[in-house]
Structure 1
């Protein structure tokens, strides 16, 4: 089994050091995820860059958190769910919707629920969503551009979720109180929401 180091600005490979400094400047700290990613400066640079790009999309901050948190839930990322719980709070998401995302259940806001279902379907079906799902996405006011932007958000989360999965990234103290384990959902309930 590989051992993944949790780097800082001094132990990280040289190419990763300025990226970690940038993360620290932008975020006020360096989360353990980025410290682990620092082993590969290419991965860390891609993650930092794509995160920034997703922030420039036409999706609102709350919609971006729906995409991120849906991916975190489906990929069972025990590291990312707490962080995105906090980021959802900072974005102003309703507490009941934050909890629904943590539980993998229906959101109270109908438009956000369509976004959650579309994101989930893209992940579970490896991008092969049914035409009816795409029509449902467009019927609530989302655009073709936004459908593609959801894919960008999933790409960002794929990098972080998979890194945390293989590295067993320890949760940062900053979000310890928001620790999460994926709830057990019945197979039928899971199939009903795809």
Structure 2
């Protein structure tokens, strides 16, 4: 496996420093997943732009976004992202029981979270070829058809990070270590 530099704001190539600065300001550290993606400006900028729209212009609550992103990380067997999104989910109000259920490949007891996690995993597992029952179960939980399309955005941005971290295998940052996960 190739060894990737985990860039910081000081080592990042050219115009990848600005997104890393924004991430450091948001999280208190530059996430190693982003530091890896900085090896490819195209990847980091694509991720950063899409995530900004997903977070800033999306309709999901912070907790719902984290349920979606954590479900993606588990479905993609990305240990780094599972730890990262476990921390973020707890900070955004997802209950420890719901986080634990998703990490164990189960479902949260909260109906909306369960429907969102199920749809997210179905999109990944079925490569976008959902059955009518998948969409119906999602909308029956109170989501709308536009939000089903918004889940695709979450899956796409999460896939960028998950795959980059799966290829590079960055170490967990100290705040993430208590949430280490193995598939």
- The bucket for the TM-score relative to the shorter chain is over 0.9
| In 1: Cα distance, 2:111 partner to 2:165 partner | 31
Matched, 1:81 2:56: no
| 1:21 to partner: Cα distance | 1.9
Aligned equivalent of 1:36: 36
Aligned equivalent of 1:92: 93
| Larger CA deviation: 8-17 vs 146-155 | 8-17
| 1:51 to partner: Cα distance | 1.6
Unpaired runs of at least 5, structure 1: 183-194
Question: What CA deviation, in whole Å up to 9, does each residue of 1:156-194 have, x standing for no partner?
Answer: 110000001111111111111111112xxxxxxxxxxxx
| In 2: Cα distance, 1:8 partner to 1:175 partner | 17
Unpaired runs of at least 5, structure 2: none
| 1:25 to partner: Cα distance | 2.3
| 1:140 to partner: Cα distance | 1.9
Asked whether the equivalents of residues 68 and 117 of structure 2 are also in contact (C-alpha less than 8 Å), the reply is yes
Asked whether the equivalents of residues 67 and 94 of structure 2 are also in contact (C-alpha less than 8 Å), the reply is no
Aligned equivalent of 1:140: 141
TM-score normalised to structure 2 length: 0.94
Question: What CA deviation, in whole Å up to 9, does each residue of 1:89-134 have, x standing for no partner?
Answer: 1111111111101111121112221111111111000000101111
Larger Rg: 1
| In 2: Cα distance, 1:102 partner to 1:75 partner | 12
Question: What CA deviation, in whole Å up to 9, does each residue of 1:29-77 have, x standing for no partner?
Answer: 1111111111111211111222221113111111111110111001001
Q: Secondary structure at the match of 2:127?
A: coil
After superposition, the CA RMSD in angstroms is: 1.2
What is the aligned length?
Answer: 182
